[in-house]
């Protein structure tokens, strides 16, 4: 569609869809630069639909807590209009986006490779008659830098090592709004001001958020809020706690669910409350005296030896940079990232060869969701997910592998895993939801022997060997007690 000239619009509109932060955000920085360049005020819209896929009270409450933090913080910033809008009626949020675009000079938003943002961005690109720019503020290596979908973490790591320094040396601005000049008011129509006022009202206290969320009939109300808070403040506190207390034992203890030494940052990374630039910077501060990032040199995709310094830091950086961003780059290049057919040929073939194998146990979605299987270890992992909205990574791998084993066929297993993960996990609906779930079926992995029933050449995991390898005593005590059910 032909673009209306930018000069005709009244304001620059930044639509914050997933990277929900005002700091270290390339998209917001770009919007501020555009506002200053064109001499127009900046409007930030941050909203939430009430009927998004896998909508639950849990996820909605987490997002609204973060929006309430922005609502409390933003009125003091000059020359800026913030419109928080958690919708009550389906469709009213997207109508507001389009109404705001009517008088905007340009729409700027978040580039995101999965979930409704990917579809919305593509659709709006075709519909709007103003320029629409999406900016990638998801990680350290921009998605546009990879030429095709990395089929393994090694392939991505090799590319990352070549490009890391150049990307690291151009970090996002810590406080982009500080650079916003005063370009007056956007002169918004009354009906938009009324929606803005309604949005502020819905977020004005924790009690109001709870009553608003409880009244939304399109949410799964049985999946209730968790103890994690969706604010940037809570995310930064988690980061400090992890780096200060657990980082240096990460490589030894990360696979031990009893020890809880992983960062537990994925919910805040998922909603963009904190940037991976901030996380990585904090980790660099812990490197030994004399270590300097400018000394890093590619080591041909090898896992150790690139960052150097503490081995625990290097191991954590491999997760938060290589593994996390492999998922973003893969999905960005793969429109069918959530389809069974996106699995590598060898994986589809071996799963299909074993699709009719006998299963000793077959469970329904409801039985799985309620932790009603014969296996106490699996039940504990599902209980952690159902009650706390997260699963320890090691348990998450085992959890996924067993669903493949206990469902009638791999396609059903995939559908169940996507639903369980995306309904219950706060970090669900992320590119790494699909990386993790499809890894269960062979993505980013290789063929393993011996060939086994149901799994074929797909990597196998069992609760018995997990129990031998790691103690799980505290984990089982914590998530098997009746009090938690
Ligand atoms: C079946 C299955 C489903 C998964 N679903 C999700 C999901 O919905 N959302 C999600 O963010 N991750 C998912 N993962 C990946 C991984 O389990 C989580 O990222 C990790 O457990 C989060 O805990 P943490 O923040 O303590 O991680 P840490 O170990 O502290 O790692 C730091 C960060 O690195 C990233 N990371 C760590 N491990 C992985 C990994 N294996 N793959 C990709 N990125 C990683 C995450 O952003 C994480 O927050 C899934 C894995 C599996 C096997």
* Total residue length of the chain: 485
Instruction: Give, as one character, the DSSP assignment of residue 228.
Output: S
Atom of ligand 1 nearest to the CA of 427: 9
Nearest CA to ligand 1 atom 16: 393
In a domain, 255, yes or no: yes
What is the Cα–Cα distance from 431 to 444, expressed in whole angstroms? 14
358 shares a domain with 322: no
388 shares a domain with 319: no
Domain ends where: 300, 315, 333? 333
Instruction: Give, as one character, the DSSP assignment of residue 341.
Output: G
Average pLDDT of the residues in 159-182? 96
325 shares a domain with 282: yes
Query: Domain holding 74: CATH number?
Result: 3.40.50.620
| pLDDT surpassing 90 at residue 172 | yes
Helix-then-strand count for the chain, H and E: 21, 5
Are residues 337 and 331 in contact, defined by beta-carbon separation less than 8 angstroms?
A: yes
| pLDDT surpassing 70 at residue 77 | no
- Supply the ipTM of this predicted assembly: 0.99
pLDDT, residue 8, reads 87
How would you list the strands of the sheet with 80-86, edge to edge?
A: 80-86, 42-48, 11-16, 104-110, 132-135
> What is the per-residue pLDDT across 451-482, written as a single tens digit (0 to 9) for each?
999 999 999 998 888 888 888 989 999 998 64
In a domain, 169, yes or no: no
Atom of ligand 1 nearest to the CA of 263: 30
Domain ends where: 315, 333, 351? 333
In a domain, 193, yes or no: no
461 shares a domain with 360: yes
Nearest CA to ligand 1 atom 50: 436
Query: Domain holding 296: CATH number?
Result: 1.25.40.80
| pLDDT surpassing 70 at residue 368 | yes
**Who wins on pLDDT, 201 or 5?**
201
Q: What average pLDDT does the structure give for the chain?
A: 95
What is the Cα–Cα distance from 454 to 441, expressed in whole angstroms? 11
356 shares a domain with 287: no
Are residues 300 and 158 in contact, defined by beta-carbon separation less than 8 angstroms?
A: yes
Ligand 1 neighbour 440 (Cβ under 6 A): yes
Buried b (16+ CB within 10 A) or exposed e, 455-477: bbbbbbbebeebeeebebeebbe
- Crossing angle between the packed helical segments 431-440 and 324-333, to the nearest 10 degrees: 90
Ligand 1 neighbour 384 (Cβ under 6 A): no
Instruction: Give the structural domain span for 95.
Output: 1-137+199-224
480 shares a domain with 378: yes
217 shares a domain with 310: no
4 shares a domain with 28: yes
């Amino acid at each position: 569609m032909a673009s209306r000239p930018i000069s005709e619009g009244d304001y620059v509109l930044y639509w914050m869809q997933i990277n929900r932060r005002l700091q270290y955000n390339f998209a917001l920085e770009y919007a501020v630069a555009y506002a200053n360049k064109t001499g127009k005020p900046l409007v930030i819209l941050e909203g939430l639909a009430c009927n998004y896929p896998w909508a639950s009270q849990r996820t909605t409450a987490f997002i609204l807590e973060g929006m309430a933090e922005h609502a409390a913080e933003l009125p003091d910033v000059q020359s800026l209009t913030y419109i928080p809008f958690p919708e009550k009626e389906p469709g009213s949020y997207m109508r507001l986006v389009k109404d705001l675009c009517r008088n905007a000079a340009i729409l700027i938003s978040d580039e995101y490779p999965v979930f409704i943002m990917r579809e919305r961005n593509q659709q709006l690109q075709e519909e709007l008659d103003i320029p629409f720019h999406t900016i990638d503020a998801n990680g350290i290596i921009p998605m546009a830098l990879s030429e095709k979908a990395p089929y393994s973490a090694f392939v991505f790591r090799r590319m990352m090592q070549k490009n890391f320094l150049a990307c690291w040396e151009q970090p996002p601005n810590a406080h982009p709004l500080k650079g916003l000049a005063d370009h007056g008011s956007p002169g918004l129509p009354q009906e938009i001001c009324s929606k803005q006022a309604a949005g502020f009202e819905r977020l004005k206290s924790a009690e109001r958020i709870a009553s608003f969320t409880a009244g939304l009939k399109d949410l799964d109300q049985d999946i209730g809020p968790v103890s994690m808070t969706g604010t940037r403040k809570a995310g930064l506190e988690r980061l400090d706690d992890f780096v200060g207390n657990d980082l240096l034992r990460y490589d030894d203890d990360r696979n031990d669910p009893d020890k809880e030494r992983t960062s537990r940052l994925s919910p805040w990374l998922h909603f963009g409350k904190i940037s991976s630039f901030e996380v990585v910077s904090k980790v660099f501060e812990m490197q030994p005296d004399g270590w300097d990032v400018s000394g890093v040199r590619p080591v041909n995709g090898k896992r150790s030896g690139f960052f150097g310094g503490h081995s625990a830091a290097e191991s954590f950086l491999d997760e938060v940079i290589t593994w996390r961003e492999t998922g973003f780059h893969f999905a960005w290049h793969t429109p069918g990232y959530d389809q069974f057919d996106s699995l590598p040929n060898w994986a589809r073939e071996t799963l299909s060869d074993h699709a009719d194998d006998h299963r000793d146990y077959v469970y329904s979605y409801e039985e799985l969701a309620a932790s009603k299987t014969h296996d106490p270890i699996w039940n504990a992992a599902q209980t952690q997910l159902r009650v706390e909205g997260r699963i320890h990574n090691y348990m998450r791998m085992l959890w996924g592998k067993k669903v493949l084993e206990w469902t009638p066929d791999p396609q059903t297993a995939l559908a169940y895993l996507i639903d369980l993960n995306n309904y219950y996990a706060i970090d669900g609906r992320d590119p790494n939801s699909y990386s993790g779930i499809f890894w269960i079926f062979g993505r980013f992995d290789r063929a393993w022997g011996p060939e086994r029933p149901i799994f074929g050449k797909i990597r196998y995991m069992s609760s018995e060997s997990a129990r031998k390898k790691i103690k799980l005593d505290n984990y089982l005590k914590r998530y098997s007690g009746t009090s938690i059910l």
